[in-house]
């Protein structure tokens, strides 16, 4: 299955949109723990469709590299692409052993 050719990314973003107050909460929390000047490059592991990547780039005025998938063939269903932080295969639930 080619994830990008489905409606899943669009639906995911619509379902998980960050409300303005939620964005402000995240930015406030980031400001408390990380100085803006200390960050110039962010690796957003498990970025999904990038909904936090844009927030991070704007907040820190930094370059963000999103890594959303790793190639690993599921022994049960054969799916070969998974989120970088996946523990289980989404379609079949098989435990994955990703070594990213």
Q: Which residues bind Zn ion (CB under 5 A)?
A: 74, 76-77, 79, 89, 92, 94
Residue tagged 């957003």 (tokens)? 44
- Supply the minimum distance, in Å, between the C-beta of residue 90 and Zn ion: 8
Residue tagged 């999904």 (tokens)? 48
- Supply the minimum distance, in Å, between the C-beta of residue 47 and Zn ion: 21
- Supply the minimum distance, in Å, between the C-beta of residue 77 and Zn ion: 3
Q: Which is nearer to Zn ion, 39 or 79 (CB)?
A: 79
Q: Which is nearer to Zn ion, 42 or 89 (CB)?
A: 89
Q: Which is nearer to Zn ion, 49 or 94 (CB)?
A: 94
> CA quadruple 50, 52, 55, 58: dihedral positive or negative?
negative
Q: What is the CA radius of gyration of the chain?
A: 16
Angle at 41 between CA 36 and CA 43, to 5 degrees: 115
The 3-state DSSP class for residue 88 equals: strand
């Amino acid at each position: 299955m080619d994830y990008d050719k489905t409606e899943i990314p669009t639906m995911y973003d619509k379902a998980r949109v960050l409300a303005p107050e939620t964005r402000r909460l995240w930015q406030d929390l980031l400001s408390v723990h990380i100085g803006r000047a200390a960050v110039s490059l962010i690796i957003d592991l498990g970025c999904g469709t990038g909904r936090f990547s844009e927030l991070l780039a704007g907040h820190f005025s930094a370059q963000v590299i999103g890594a959303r998938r790793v190639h690993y063939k599921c022994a049960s269903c054969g799916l070969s692409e998974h989120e970088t932080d996946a523990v289980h295969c989404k379609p079949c639930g098989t435990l994955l052993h990703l070594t990213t």
